[in-house]
């Protein structure tokens, strides 16, 4: 009688087994994975096959590598970003922080925003959002938003120079005012339009947000309109492992 050969354990099978352990809580967020040698002995394969299996989990964003060769189950505390309430109605801006920072503090976390300001010509996309001619001078405020000292968002707000000139929008610091800066300088947002795209980050976004390989991001574009047209175009890059986006709509 011919015996059936034993099924060879593959990198995919190793990834499936470890993924199941992560999803069922056997391996918890922050846990260090067994070493390659330990996993090789457990599955009866070479360390190279184990490495290929773990690479699959890294590409899925479930596992991250650390210095010293350790691999750890990715952990994080997502924030709930309610985009229905964000910047809407009675804003929570004050001298202590803008609407976003106030919401983070209300959740018991510690926010910070690191701001740089750039003045230059609008590219075609920004010009389209702001309804100005391509090449028109615009002011861009780039904010790296952190929560508990970890990068959580990269937000770039573009303003026509006619609105920003001579205002705190040109100040390279975290500026906040009651009701929001635009309302304070006489250009309140009366309505907004949101666009959300889910995609993989570019290298600069990965570096600035300290993203593990395989982490997708949400690109949230919010166009703010005043009485005579757009007053701001804000693009926020939000890592998928650190956010839960919420909308509340009447139907």
Could you tell me what percentage of the chain is helix, strand and coil, using 3-state DSSP and rounding each to the nearest 5? 25, 30, 40
| Predicted local distance difference test score (pLDDT) of residue 5 | 43
More confident residue, 176 or 232: 232
For the chain, how many residues are written?
Answer: 251
Closest CA to 104 of 87, 83, 80: 80
> Do 126 and 138 touch, CB atoms closer than 8 A?
yes
| Predicted local distance difference test score (pLDDT) of residue 24 | 92
Residue 178 has pLDDT above 60, yes or no: yes
Q: What are the DSSP E strand ranges found in the chain?
A: 63-65, 71-73, 79-82, 111-121, 137-147, 150-160, 191-199, 217-226, 229-239, 243-246
| Predicted local distance difference test score (pLDDT) of residue 2 | 47
Q: Same fold for the domain at 11-73 and the one at 79-246?
A: no
Give the tens place of pLDDT for each residue, 4-30. 444 568 999 999 999 999 999 999 888
Give the tens place of pLDDT for each residue, 31-86. 999 999 999 999 999 999 999 999 999 888 788 887 777 898 987 788 999 999 88
| Predicted local distance difference test score (pLDDT) of residue 67 | 72
Closest CA to 164 of 133, 100, 194, 120: 120
Confidence band, pLDDT 50/70/90 cuts, at residue 239: very high
| Predicted local distance difference test score (pLDDT) of residue 68 | 76
Domain boundaries, the chain: 11-73, 79-246
| Predicted local distance difference test score (pLDDT) of residue 99 | 87
Give the tens place of pLDDT for each residue, 87-132. 876 667 666 678 899 889 989 999 999 999 999 999 999 999 999 9
Overall average pLDDT of the 146-172 stretch: 96
Confidence band, pLDDT 50/70/90 cuts, at residue 214: confident
- CATH architecture classification, 11-73: Orthogonal Bundle (1.10)
DSSP-derived secondary structure letter, 35: P
Protein fold of 79-246? Chorismate lyase (3.40.1410)
| Predicted local distance difference test score (pLDDT) of residue 4 | 41
Residue 160 has pLDDT above 60, yes or no: yes
């Amino acid at each position: 009688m011919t015996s059936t050969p034993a099924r060879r354990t593959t990198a995919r099978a190793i990834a499936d087994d470890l993924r199941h352990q992560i999803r069922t809580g056997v391996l918890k967020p922050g846990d260090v994975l067994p070493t390659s040698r330990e996993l090789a002995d457990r599955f009866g394969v070479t360390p190279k096959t184990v490495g290929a299996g773990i690479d699959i989990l890294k590409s899925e964003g479930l596992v991250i590598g650390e210095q010293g060769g350790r691999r750890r189950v990715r952990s994080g505390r997502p924030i709930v970003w309610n985009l229905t309430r964000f910047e809407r109605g009675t804003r929570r801006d004050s001298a202590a922080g803008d609407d976003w920072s106030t919401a983070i503090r209300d959740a018991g976390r510690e926010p910070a925003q690191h701001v740089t300001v750039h003045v230059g010509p609008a590219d075609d996309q920004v010009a389209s959002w702001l309804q100005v001619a391509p090449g028109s001078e615009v002011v861009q405020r780039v904010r790296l938003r952190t929560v508990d000292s970890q990068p959580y968002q990269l937000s770039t707000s573009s303003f026509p120079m006619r609105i920003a000139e001579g205002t705190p929008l040109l100040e390279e610091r975290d500026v906040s005012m009651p009701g929001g800066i635009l309302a304070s300088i006489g250009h309140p947002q009366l309505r907004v339009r949101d666009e959300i795209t889910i995609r993989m980050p570019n290298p600069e976004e990965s570096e600035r947000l300290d993203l593990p390989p395989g982490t997708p991001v949400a690109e949230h574009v919010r166009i703010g309109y005043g009485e005579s047209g757009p007053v701001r175009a804000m693009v926020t890059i939000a890592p998928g492992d650190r956010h839960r986006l919420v909308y509340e709509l009447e139907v």
